[in-house]
Amino acid sequence: MTVKVRFAPSPTGKLHVGNIRTALVNWLFAKSQGGMFVLRIDDTDLERSTKEYEEAIRADLSWLGMTWGETFKQSERFARYTEAAGQLKSKGLLYPCYETAEELERRKKIALSRGKPPVYDRAALALTADDHKKLEAERRKPHWRFKLSGGRAEWNDLVRGQQSIDTASVSDPVLIREDGSFLYTMPSVVDDVDAKITHVIRGEDHVTNSGAQIEIFLALGAQPPEMAHMPLLIGADGQGLSKRLGSLSAEQLRNEGYEPMSILSLLAKIGTSDPVEARESLQQLAMEFSFSKMGRAPARFDENELDGLNAQIVHGMSFEAVKPRLAKLPYGDQATPDFWDVVRSNLKGVPDAAVWLAVVYGGGLTGPDLDADDQAFIGEAAKLFPAGDVTADTWKSWVNAVKAKTGRKGKGLFMPLRRVLTDQEHGPEMDKMLLLIGGEKARARLVGAAP
């Protein structure tokens, strides 16, 4: 059996860390098994799905390196769903219901007030042929429910172990709305059957769905795939991420300078028995992937951890790798390998290099606000600054001379010099920075800040 999995996002929003993790686990599992990763666009909801979101999802997955072997859209397959619905109808497993939303809500409340589970009472199954005729004559449009067996749907979940859903405790799911549109439940099954999906891997919010879907697989004469339901993500504060997912989109993370491999390393490891560590490639993550390492507790997505991984990955990046990215920043086309070696360990993300590009290759800096004392001090320092080109020793010998002349030491000595030369209070070692900035620019900055 060749493993075939699918990632099935709905193009009703941006890809966020929650669905990136689902995509990733599918991708890693497929890779680790020599199988195929399929991208399915779940756009049955034509009103909320957009072409823009669909394209953004494809672009985001590509940016993350999660390539797909096949891709298709549900909106291209409505004829097939209609056919499958016909199959279920002919077996009496898909039945028309005419209750309005208000009516259902009212019945739900009554059930709850009687201490009963708010399960659909199947009143529609009791409708006679005459009732149907009357309703049709009134031009009432039905929605269609799948008739669950009332028995138990069972499977051995790759993450959760043996599962058993009592289908009598859930409502018969609506598969088709009044307007004839399909909800996600049945198309997903039809697609999984037709695409020969061997493993359905998704969040544990789908566990109940799986009970119904397993019965739909069987009703369509198909073998249900293996299933894996992963615990959901929570934030570092232990709270669910749902409200914050908007700011945790792939797009936002990319704009903030996060590298694909820091996002992927974190998402592959949280909630598993492996330590969270930066990895260089999806291949490496795939080699280390196993469902047996995945726990049942929610996976903690901690942005500080992401920052740490990102910094680690950026610090290890070669100039060749980063060159095209630097080139997109102001002055970035002038960056040299030496520049990168000096600044990289100070960056949280590649875009942070912009500051240092401006310091090294830019013209005048805004210049710090210095008090009168510091200004006078800079005046002295400027006078002592050697003529001509700077060398690797310039900083040290110059600072020693400034120290001897002014009597300043420690922070009082270094900080004003650093601030005038770089406009920053922190940064790479100054001897190396000075070498990059060059004598002429350094002199001009000192003179400019002097009284």
Residues in contact with ligand GLU by CB under 6 A are 8-10, 42, 184, 188, 202, 206
**Nearer CB in complex with ligand GLU: 72/414:** 72
**Nearer CB in complex with ligand GLU: 184/414:** 184
- Smallest separation, CB 148 to ligand GLU (Å): 18
- Smallest separation, CB 310 to ligand GLU (Å): 27
- Smallest separation, CB 203 to ligand GLU (Å): 7
Q: 40: which 2 tokens?
A: 């399915």
- Smallest separation, CB 287 to ligand GLU (Å): 25
**Nearer CB in complex with ligand GLU: 184/291:** 184
- Smallest separation, CB 274 to ligand GLU (Å): 24
The residue assigned the tokens 């499958």 is: 84
- Smallest separation, CB 437 to ligand GLU (Å): 51
Q: 35: which 2 tokens?
A: 């199988």
**Nearer CB in complex with ligand GLU: 9/35:** 9
Spatial CA neighbour of 65 closest among 286, 245, 229 = 286
Spatial CA neighbour of 343 closest among 357, 329, 323 = 357
Q: 296: which 2 tokens?
A: 């049942």
- Smallest separation, CB 239 to ligand GLU (Å): 21
* Helices vs. strands in the chain: H and E counts, helices first: 19, 12
**Nearer CB in complex with ligand GLU: 96/225:** 225
Beta strands at 152-157 and 70-73: parallel, antiparallel or unpaired:
unpaired
- Tell me how far apart the alpha carbons of residues 179 and 182 are, in angstroms, rounded to a whole number: 9
- Tell me how far apart the alpha carbons of residues 285 and 274 are, in angstroms, rounded to a whole number: 11
- Smallest separation, CB 46 to ligand GLU (Å): 14
- Smallest separation, CB 105 to ligand GLU (Å): 24
Residue 127 burial class via C-beta count within 10 angstroms: exposed 0-12, middle 13-18, buried 19 and up:
middle
Give the number of other CB atoms < 10 A from CB of residue 130: 8
- Do 230 and 294 meet the contact criterion of CB atoms below 8 Å apart? yes
- Tell me how far apart the alpha carbons of residues 442 and 448 are, in angstroms, rounded to a whole number: 10
**Nearer CB in complex with ligand GLU: 42/157:** 42
What backbone torsions phi and psi does residue 43 show, to the nearest 5 degrees?
-110, 40
Q: Could you write out the DSSP letters of every residue in 312-378?
A: HHHHT--HHHHHHHHTTSTTGGG--HHHHHHHGGG-SSGGGHHHHHHHHHSS--------HHHHHHH
**Nearer CB in complex with ligand GLU: 188/422:** 188
**Nearer CB in complex with ligand GLU: 4/279:** 4
- Tell me how far apart the alpha carbons of residues 280 and 286 are, in angstroms, rounded to a whole number: 11
- Do 188 and 213 meet the contact criterion of CB atoms below 8 Å apart? yes
Residue type, 383: K
- Tell me how far apart the alpha carbons of residues 113 and 348 are, in angstroms, rounded to a whole number: 56
- Smallest separation, CB 15 to ligand GLU (Å): 11
**Nearer CB in complex with ligand GLU: 145/202:** 202
**Nearer CB in complex with ligand GLU: 45/305:** 45
Q: 245: which 2 tokens?
A: 């997912």
Which residue is nearest to ligand GLU, using beta carbons? Answer: 42
